[in-house]
A and B are shown apart, each in its own frame.
Chain A
Amino acid sequence: MAAVTMRLPVPRKPAVVNAPRGPEKHLVAPGDTITTDTGYMRGHGTYVEDDKLIASVAGVVERVNKLICVRALNTRYNGEVGDVVVGRITEVQQKRWKVETYSRLDSVLLLSSINLPGGELRRRSIEDELAMRDCLQEGDLISAEVQSVFTDGALSLHTRSLKYGKLSQGVLIQVSPSLVKRQKTHFHDLPCGASVILGNNGYIWIYPTSEQRDEETGGFITNLEPVSMSDREVISRVRNCIVALVTHKLMLFDTSILYCYEASLPHQIKDILKPEVMEQIVLETQHRLLDLEG
């Protein structure tokens, strides 16, 4: 039967647990004066007006010796070499693809940076150029690593390892890049039955764990078999848990997602998105994470 819930808006209060605070962070809003001392060099996110250093973005002040910069919390993805990103192909150009990674400029995936299907290593020829659209089309999702950063800030990606490549069936969620914790590995096989790729650019990809672990296909063969019902339920639950964590501004990493999943098990999958259930699950996750730390 159809289920419709309507409610009046309630004032939202952040579900915060009294966590032991680290060193006090200097938070600023655009227009706030950071310092009136003229001895500092100004970095990103600041400008000088009337001998005062003023912040131009909302974020945390970071000071390295004489350099003051403001790191914004809600910003587009700024790529670093070695980051794992999940991106969507927007254009197919002559010897490269343009990939959308929620950064200021579209990232570039050169034809020479991908593994050709079949796995052979050879010089890319004209036939490869003409067959580019058979490999990756507009709208396809890929997981890749940042190889280098161009002078204008655009990222150059590569999928030269067998764990990167085209992504097949699954669910994509877009979150703010600052909520994804930097870790050693961004590919996680959660024990609950789904696998997740936490892209540094804020694109999270959830997909069913593939049974063959030894057969690394290199990712250009897409699996079009229907996903089983149990896998679907796990994927939907993980997706809703991630949305709950993001709504309450918690950092995303494999342990927090797992704890949130376990806290959500008593509820139905579609109930997780209700505000009161979301709050309860996130509070429980925060408690468990604090217990883990100390």
Chain B
Amino acid sequence: MSERRATLRRLSCSNGASHCSRLLEGTAASRERRKRKGLSAVRREEAGSMAAVVLSEPEKLYIVHGVQEDLRVDGRGCEDYRCAEVETDVVSNTSGSARVKLGNTDILVGVKAEMGTPKIEKPDEGYLEFCVDCSANATPEFEGRGGEELGTEITSTFYTVFSSENSVDLKSLCINPREHCWVLYVDVLLLVCGGNLFDAISIAVKAALFNTRIPKVRVLEDEEGSKEIELSDDPYDCIRLNVENVPLIVTLSKIGYRHVVDATLEEEACSLASLLVSVTSKGALTSIKKVGRGSLDPESIFEMMELPQYVHMGRGWYWS
């Protein structure tokens, strides 16, 4: 551990080309690969699942040096978010919906509540189903099946985030144990991809769940034992979900030797690894996921994990 620290200190002291090459060693390796393979194969591999922009080496260097000095390209510090706009109740034929604009990124989420059968292993709970659609409006790369990989990655991340028992009170979604329950279908639509997708989607999902109105139902039992479900006549008679414990995702992208929150597309192109941390308003971490080709030092992971708690407490006031 001390040798690693000494290496880091040596690297941060040295100036000039060797310093640049260490910071950008991901891109130098990719240049070699590009020379050996064709360009298109490497571009597909590098673009991976995220819609990425191509930057020149000096541009990346400018961004990396800026992050080291806590002054990003648009004047923000490493821990500042872009201005966000949240709007609920935008889609009329859903049970709940929300639209979030985080800088350039534009996300639309709709929640539909439908009746279904509970899962066998959890007979007295309802459940959530996520579906993410990367529309071709966001980037031409998402045309056809291009956005499927990104969509499945986001969906699986949300299943992990919401897998903890306390996030949504699933028992309140149960109507009849083993027979009927509410299933919440959460559909996410990516309208514009401007960097930091996970944060924006998590805010939109929480806002849409906050906005969801589930109709109140009564279960009537006949003499023969068959059950009938009665929907109340009043359309405004509905139950609301308690979203206090729904976690929000904070993405920390590692650029150079520091980490930033709310990375733009250009900053995402310079970062080799990111940490997705989902945190509740009380500061409890529910899940952590690492994305990206690069590696993260365990020490820096602990350092990065302290930040999301401050961020979520700052965002907590909106939900009250």
Contacts and interface: CB of A to CB of B under 8 A. Distances in A.
Interface string B260-271: 010000000000
B71 A232 contact: yes
B79 interface: yes
Contacts of A268: 75
Contacts of B86: 6-8
B8 interface: no
A121 interface: no
Interface string A118-150: 000000000000000100011111000000000
Nearest to A235: B73
A4 B83 CA distance: 7
A222 interface: yes
Contacts of A16: none
B71 A4 contact: no
A7 B84 contact: yes
Given A1-B310, A141-B59, A239 B80 contact: no
A270 B34 contact: no
B240 interface: no
A4 B65 contact: no
A270 B20 contact: no
Interface residues of A, number: 44
A4 B81 contact: yes
Q: How large is the interface on B (under 10, 10 to 19, 20 to 34, 35 or more residues)?
A: 35 or more
Contact of A4 (B54, B77, B311): B311
A8 B71 contact: no
Given A139-B55, A270-B75, A227 B62 contact: yes
A4 B81 CA distance: 5
B61 interface: yes
Contacts of B76: 270
Contact of B311 (A2, A9, A91, A168): A2
Contacts of A8: 85-87
Q: In the complex, which of the residues A167, A236, A275 has the most CB atoms of chain B within 10 Å of its own CB atom? A: A236
Given A226-B65, A229-B71, A236-B73, A2 B79 contact: yes
A236 to B, nearest CB: 4
Contacts of A272: 75
B39 A273 contact: no
A11 to B, nearest CB: 12
A3 interface: yes
Interface string B60-78: 0110011001011111110
Contacts of B66: 232
B262 to A, nearest CB: 9
Contact of A91 (B31, B39, B314, B315): B39
Nearest to A139: B54
Contacts of B302: none
Nearest to A271: B75
B83 A141 contact: no
Nearest to B199: A4
Contacts of B69: 229, 232
A232 B20 CA distance: 18
Contacts of A270: 74-77, 80
Q: In the complex, which of the residues A91, A138, A268, A274 has the most CB atoms of chain B within 10 Å of its own CB atom? A: A138
A274 B103 CA distance: 10
Interface in A210-250: 222-224, 226-227, 229, 232-233, 236-237, 239-240, 243
A239 B74 contact: yes
B236 interface: no
A137 B311 CA distance: 40
Given A138-B39, A236-B75, A167 B82 contact: no
A2 B311 CA distance: 6
A226 B62 CA distance: 7
A275 B83 contact: yes
Given A5-B83, A139-B55, 5 more contacts: A8-B87, A9-B85, A88-B54, A141-B56, A170-B62
14 contacts: A3-B81, A4-B80, A8-B85, A8-B87, A9-B85, A9-B87, A91-B39, A137-B56, A138-B54, A139-B57, A222-B58, A229-B69, A239-B73, A273-B82
Interface of A: 1-9, 88, 90-91, 133, 137-141, 167-172, 222-224, 226-227, 229, 232-233, 236-237, 239-240, 243, 268-270, 272-275
Interface of B: 16-17, 20, 31, 34-35, 39, 54-59, 61-62, 65-66, 69, 71-77, 79-87, 101, 203, 261, 307, 310-311, 314-315, 318
7 closest residue pairs by CB, A with B: A269-B75, A270-B75, A236-B75, A2-B79, A169-B62, A168-B58, A139-B54
